[in-house]
Amino acid sequence: MCFDAGEVALPGGKREEGDADDIATALREAKEEIGLDPSLVDVVTVIEPYMTRVCVEFLKFSFYFAILWERDDLFDPYNSVTFAKVA
């Protein structure tokens, strides 16, 4: 954490064997990290991937804009497993 202090963090991670595509990876990661049910999300657009170099390797970042339908009874990010571990 000494190199990342103060930086913005968003749900994300590497594609796994069972992921159909990058959108599936993003939805799976959001579910794992903040408890977001993929059925509540409609992806509306994808921004061109951004490549950056970190130390000696290149990383690809993909950004997705989505609509999260107001379903407060079904999604509470402050009640997620990850948040509970940090708090």
In the predicted model, what is the mean pLDDT of residues 37-46? 87
Mean pLDDT, all residues of the chain: 75
Q: Residue 35's CB: how many other CB atoms inside 10 A? A: 19
Question: Would you state the pLDDT for residue 5?
Answer: 64
Q: Which residues contact 58 (CB under 8 A, 6 or more apart)?
A: 51, 52
In the predicted model, what is the mean pLDDT of residues 34-55? 83
Inform me whether the pLDDT recorded for 17 exceeds 90.
yes
Residue with more model confidence, 66 or 82: 66
Question: Would you state the pLDDT for residue 18?
Answer: 94
Closest CA to 64 of 12, 11, 23: 23
